[in-house]
C-alpha cells in the first residue's frame, strides 16, 4: 500500500492555506499537495482513499472560506500548467479544470466564439466555476457545457456527458472529488462585437464590486427574485465591521478583509447578515461560498 510520504516531491506538511485563498485567511492543511499532471493527481487520490485520509480539492481559492483552525487530511491544489490547457476546434472548446476562467473567456472571445463573454470578471478556475455553476445576469457557465471529465474520491476517472449534467442557480450535479477537463459548445460570432460586449460587462462589474480588495466574490446566493446585496443594504449593514472584516460599502454581498481579519470575524458578519435579514424581511440567505 502506498503512503502519502511517497509523494514527497509535491507534499508539504502543515502548509498555511491563507496565502492561496482570495480572502487571505485560514489555517494550515495537514497535508498539502500540488500534483503535476492528471496521473499524479489520480495516484495521490487513490493513496488517500487507501489510507482513509480525507481529501479536499482546491482550485483558484476564490470561493472558499477556510477555518482558522485549518483543514485535517489532504488538500490537493490543482494549479500546474498541465491542468490549464485550452484548445479550440471550430465551435468546440476544451479546457483543463485548472485554467483560469478569465483566460477561457478572453481566448473564446478572441476566436469569435459567443457564450462565455458574460462571465468576465468572475475569479477562479474553470473547474470551480463549473462546480458552482458560476454566472451572472448574462447567463451561467453550465448552459454551454457539453461534457465534463471527473475524478472520484476513489481515484476513478470518467466522463459525464450532457444528459448526466444538470445545472441550476449556483449549483451543479457535479459532486465528484475533482473536475479534470470540460468541453463547451459555443456559437460563431464577430470577435470585435464580442470584445465590446465583454468590455461593457467588465466596466459594469468594476463599477459595482470591490474587485481590488481581498474578498471571495459574492458571499450569499440571491434569493429568488431578489438581490442578497440589496437586502443586506436595506437591513442597514453596509460598512459594518467586525475585527478586520467589513461588509463592503460598495456592494453589500461582499465581505472585505483589511489584512487583519480572521475567519471568525467573517463568520460573525455572515451570521449577523443572515439573522438581521431573516428578522427584518423573513428571508433566509444561503451561502454561495464554501466553508472549509
Active site residue 77: no
Active site residue 47: no
Three state DSSP letters for 231-292: HHHHCCCCCCEECCEEECCCCCCCEEECCCCCHHHHHHHHHHHHHHHHHHHCCCCCECCEEC
Q: Quote the CA–CA distance of 193 and 228 in Å, as a whole number.
A: 32
Query: If we measure between CA atoms, which residue out of 3, 17, 187 comes closest to residue 109?
Result: 187
Are 17 and 25 in contact by the 8 Å Cβ rule? The answer is no
Active site residue 170: yes
Q: Quote the CA–CA distance of 55 and 260 in Å, as a whole number.
A: 28
**Given 170, 176, 181, 246, which residue is catalytic?**
170
**Given 34, 48, 117, 218, which residue is catalytic?**
218
Which residues does 25 contact at the CB level (< 8 Å), separation at least 6? 18, 65, 66, 68, 257, 261, 262, 263, 266
Q: Give 15's strand partners.
A: 29
Q: Quote the CA–CA distance of 71 and 101 in Å, as a whole number.
A: 26
> Active-site positions?
170, 218, 288
Amino acid at each position: 500500500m502506498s503512503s502519502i510520504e511517497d509523494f514527497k516531491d509535491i507534499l508539504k506538511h502543515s502548509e498555511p492555506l491563507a496565502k492561496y485563498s482570495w480572502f487571505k485567511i485560514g489555517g494550515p492543511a495537514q497535508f498539502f499537495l500540488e500534483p503535476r499532471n492528471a496521473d499524479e493527481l489520480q495516484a495521490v487520490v487513490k493513496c488517500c482513499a487507501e489510507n482513509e485520509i480525507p481529501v479536499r480539492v482546491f482550485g483558484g481559492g476564490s470561493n472558499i472560506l477556510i477555518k482558522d483552525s485549518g483543514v485535517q487530511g489532504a488538500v490537493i491544489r490543482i494549479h500546474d500548467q498541465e491542468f490549464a490547457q485550452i484548445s479550440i476546434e471550430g465551435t468546440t472548446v476544451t479546457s483543463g479544470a485548472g485554467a483560469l476562467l478569465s483566460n477561457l473567456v478572453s481566448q473564446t472571445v478572441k476566436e469569435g466564439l459567443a457564450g462565455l463573454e458574460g462571465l468576465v470578471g468572475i475569479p477562479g478556475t474553470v473547474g470551480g466555476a463549473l462546480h458552482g455553476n458560476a454566472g451572472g445576469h448574462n447567463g451561467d457557465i453550465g448552459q454551454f457545457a457539453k461534457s465534463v471529465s471527473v475524478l472520484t474520491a476513489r481515484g476513478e476517472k470518467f466522463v459525464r456527458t450532457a444528459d448526466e449534467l444538470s445545472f441550476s442557480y449556483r449549483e451543479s450535479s457535479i459532486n465528484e472529488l475533482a473536475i479534470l477537463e470540460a468541453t463547451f459548445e459555443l456559437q460563431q460570432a464577430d470577435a470585435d462585437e464580442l470584445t465590446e460586449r465583454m468590455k461593457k460587462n467588465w466596466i459594469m462589474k468594476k463599477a459595482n464590486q470591490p474587485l481590488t480588495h481581498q474578498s471571495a466574490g459574492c458571499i450569499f446566493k440571491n434569493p429568488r427574485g431578489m438581490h442578497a446585496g440589496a437586502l443586506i443594504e436595506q437591513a442597514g449593514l453596509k460598512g459594518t465591521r467586525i475585527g478586520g472584516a467589513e461588509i463592503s460599502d460598495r456592494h453589500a454581498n461582499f465581505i472585505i478583509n483589511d489584512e487583519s481579519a480572521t475567519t471568525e470575524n467573517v463568520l460573525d458578519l455572515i451570521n449577523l447578515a443572515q439573522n438581521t435579514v431573516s428578522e427584518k424581511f423573513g428571508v433566509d440567505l444561503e451561502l454561495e461560498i464554501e466553508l472549509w
